[in-house]
A and B are shown apart, each in its own frame.
Chain A
Amino acid sequence: MNAHNSAILDANIGWLILAIFSLFWIFLGWYWGRKAKQLDDFMLAGRNVGMALAVATAMATWVTSNTTMAAPQLALQLGIWGMVGYSLGSIGLLMFAPLAKRIRVLMPHAYTSGDFVRLRYGKAAWRVFLLISLFYGFGWLISLGMAGGVLIHALTGIPYVYGMSVILTICVLYTLLGGLRAVIGTDFIQTILILVGVVILAWLAIDKVGFDNIHSAVLQERPELLNLLMPAAIMFLFNNLLFGVGEIFHSNVWWSRAFAFRQGVGFPAYFTAGLMWLPIPIVAGFVALAAPALNLNIPAADMVGPMVAGKLLGVGGAILVFIVVFSALASSLDSLLAATSDLITQDIYRGHIRPTADNRELRFAAKGIILGLGVVTWLLCFPRITTLAELLYFTGAFVASTIWPIVAGLYWKKTNANGATLAMVFGTCIGLYSYFAIGFYVAALIGALVSMIIVIVSSLLWPGEFEWSQLQYSGANTKGASQ
Chain B
Amino acid sequence: MIASVGFLSTIVTVALAITVVSPILLIVLLILDWTKGKQW
A276 within 8 A of B: yes
Query: Which chain B residues lie closer than 8 Å to A279 at the CB level?
Result: 14-16, 18-19
Count how many chain A residues have C-beta atoms less than 8 Å from C-beta atoms of the other chain: 47
Q: Which of B7, B18, B23, B26 has the most A CB atoms < 10 Å from its CB?
A: B26
Count how many chain B residues have C-beta atoms less than 8 Å from C-beta atoms of the other chain: 28
Q: Check A199/B5 contact, CB under 8 A, given A50-B38, A84-B11.
A: no
Q: Is the CB of A211 within 8 A of B9?
A: yes
Number of A-B contacts (CB under 8 A): 105
Q: Is the CB of B12 within 8 A of A215?
A: no
| B1, chain A: closest CB distance, angstroms | 5
Query: Which chain A residues lie closer than 8 Å to B16 at the CB level?
Result: 199, 202-203, 206, 279, 283
Query: Which chain A residues lie closer than 8 Å to B9 at the CB level?
Result: 211
| A258, chain B: closest CB distance, angstroms | 15
Interface 9-residue window, one of A190-198, A295-303, A422-430: A190-198
Kindly identify which residue among B8, B15, B20, B40 contacts A45, using a CB–CB cutoff of 8 Å.
B40
| B2, chain A: closest CB distance, angstroms | 5
Query: Which chain A residues lie closer than 8 Å to B27 at the CB level?
Result: 52, 192
Q: Is the CB of A196 within 8 A of B23?
A: yes
Query: Which chain A residues lie closer than 8 Å to B22 at the CB level?
Result: 59, 195, 276
Which residues of chain B have a CB within 8 Å of any CB of chain A?
1-5, 7-9, 11-12, 14-16, 18-20, 22-23, 25-27, 29-30, 32-33, 38-40
Given A228-B2, A278-B15, A280-B19, 15 other A-B residues pairs in contact with their CB atoms under 8 A:
A45-B40, A52-B39, A53-B40, A192-B23, A195-B22, A199-B19, A202-B12, A206-B16, A211-B8, A215-B8, A227-B2, A278-B18, A279-B14, A283-B15, A286-B15
Which residues of chain A have a CB within 8 Å of any CB of chain B?
45-46, 48-53, 55-56, 59, 80, 84, 87, 181, 184, 188, 191-192, 195-196, 198-199, 202-203, 206, 211-212, 214-216, 219, 223, 226-229, 262, 275-276, 278-280, 282-283, 286, 289
